A and B are shown apart, each in its own frame.
Chain A
């Protein structure tokens, strides 16, 4: 077993707020430079760039967790990851079925483009991806786990777009695989004010929207190898695997 650097929160150019430099090619290059072992691709309400990043990253020995940062109807941001491209595709369909049809105004919100390896634009996503989908956080959590995915409420210490800002506290019956904190707070400082969460697993990630921040914040995982299964085990503290020990 050894330590792996894991950054599970990265936006690509597909997110309207993602910088134009955030192409799959550039993200992989920067992750390599920073010594990141596992990177999560989590665009707002879309998984469309994750498979390409996975393919490119594999050549550099970097493992990609494919997913999205979903905005629930309560406007809670949640990271959702899937192991297989089949389950990812089912989840993509679910997102498309529940995203409101509000056209993106690229002047106001930014471009929402899918690119290829050569950084050519393949398609522009029509509907605004930063809207809230019409599903509740409970419905989303069920869907993600039905597809054997990982469900991680994002930046929970932020006073906007987070489960705590929107819902006041983490509902005790919500099945979370981990909770994400921002770079701005330590787990100890957070737990001082939120002692009821002391048994949860916490991660920190970069939430990178521009290239310089890719892998800038990461969490150390102790695991046997870099894989989706091992990440799941580490989040659950199974068989000696652990997070941020």
Chain B
């Protein structure tokens, strides 16, 4: 499954990093503690969070994540979006809360 598939199926908004929409996804990770994500997320996962700080992109890049999904309609801070565009790691946004979004995402990815 590609990032563009979940954008379409979950009705996500693409905030930045469009050029990374064709990345393949291998599972996901949901957490708002960046220290935890740094320790536990795996490459090619999508990361569900409410944090919008620029540091999310540093961690997404370091861990080679496929995309970051912000919940509750949150938008990335400007410098986070800039880095997302530079690195081609998309930041997506969902109107849903982390619980619902993670559930749907899990089903999509595990049904594949």
Question: Which residues of A approach B to under 8 Å, CB–CB?
Answer: 74, 136-138, 159, 164-169, 171
Tell whether, in the assembled complex, residue A168 and residue B34 are in contact, meaning their CB atoms are under 8 Å apart: yes
New contact pairs (4) apart from A165-B33, A167-B53, CB-CB < 8 Å: A164-B35, A168-B34, A168-B58, A168-B59
Q: Is B54 an interface residue (CB 8 A)?
A: yes
Q: Is B7 an interface residue (CB 8 A)?
A: no
Neighbouring A residues of B58 by C-beta, 8 Å:
168-169
Tell whether, in the assembled complex, residue B77 and residue A166 are in contact, meaning their CB atoms are under 8 Å apart: no
Q: In the complex, A164 Cα to B34 Cα: how many Å? A: 8
The count of residues in chain B whose C-beta lies closer than 8 Å to any C-beta of chain A is: 14
Neighbouring B residues of A171 by C-beta, 8 Å:
53-55
**B window 39-71: CB within 8 A of A:** 51-55, 58-59
Q: Is B14 an interface residue (CB 8 A)?
A: no
Q: In the complex, A171 Cα to B35 Cα: how many Å? A: 13
Q: Is B15 an interface residue (CB 8 A)?
A: no
CB-nearest residue of chain A relative to B54?
Answer: A171
Tell whether, in the assembled complex, residue B77 and residue A138 are in contact, meaning their CB atoms are under 8 Å apart: yes
Neighbouring A residues of B10 by C-beta, 8 Å:
none
Q: Is B6 an interface residue (CB 8 A)?
A: no
Q: In the complex, A135 Cα to B55 Cα: how many Å? A: 16
Q: Is B37 an interface residue (CB 8 A)?
A: yes
Neighbouring B residues of A137 by C-beta, 8 Å:
53
